[in-house]
Structure 1
Amino acid sequence: MRLPTDTVHLKLQTRQYELFGRSLGRGVERRILLIGATSTALWWAMLLLLGMPILHRLSPLLFLVPPVVFVLYGTRRDDTGRMVLAAWRDRLLFHAPARRRPIGNPLLELDNHRSRPVRLLIIARLVTSAPNPDREGGAW
Structure 2
Amino acid sequence: MRLPTDTVHLKLRTRQYELFGRPLGRGVERRIMLIGVVGAALWWAILLLLGVPILHRLAPLAFLVPPVVFVLYGTRREDTGRMVVAAWWDWLLFRAPSRRRAIGNPLLSLHGHRARPVPLMVTTQLVPTSPASRRDGGAS
Compute the TM-score of the two structures, normalised by the length of structure 2: 0.70
Q: 1:100 to 1:25 in 2, by over 3 A?
A: same
Q: Note the aligned Cα RMSD (angstroms).
A: 2.7
* Cα drift, residue 16 of structure 1: 0.3
Q: CA deviation at 1:108?
A: 5.0
* 1:24 corresponds to 2:24: yes
**Count of equivalent residues:** 116
Displacement, 1:102?
A: 2.2
Cα distance in 2 between the residues matched to 1:24 and 1:6: 31
Range with bigger deviation, 94-103 or 16-25: 94-103
Q: 1:85 corresponds to which residue? A: 85
Indicate conservation of the 8 Å contact 2:17/2:25, yes or no: yes
- Aligned residue in 2 for 1:116: 115
Query: Helix, strand or coil: the match of 1:55?
Result: coil
Query: Which structure has the larger Rg over C-alpha atoms?
Result: 1
Q: Which sections of structure 1, spanning at least 5 residues, go unmatched?
A: 119-140
Unaligned 5+ segments in structure 2 are: 118-140
Matching of residue 59 in structure 1 with residue 53 in structure 2 = no
Paired with 2:107 and 2:34, the residues of 1 have a C-alpha distance of: 46
Under a length normalisation based on structure 1, what TM-score does the superposition of the two structures give? 0.70
Counterpart of 1:116, as a letter, is: A
- Write the distance in 1 (CA, Å) between the matches of 2:22 and 2:91: 38
Cα offset, 1:54, TM superposition: 1.3
Query: Percent of counterpart pairs with the same letter?
Result: 76
Deviation, structure 1 residue 104: 3.6
Q: 1:64-105 CA deviation, whole Å, 9 max, x = no partner?
A: 000000111111111111111111111111111211122345
Query: In structure 2, how many angstroms separate the alpha carbons of the residues matched to 1:84 and 1:108?
Result: 44
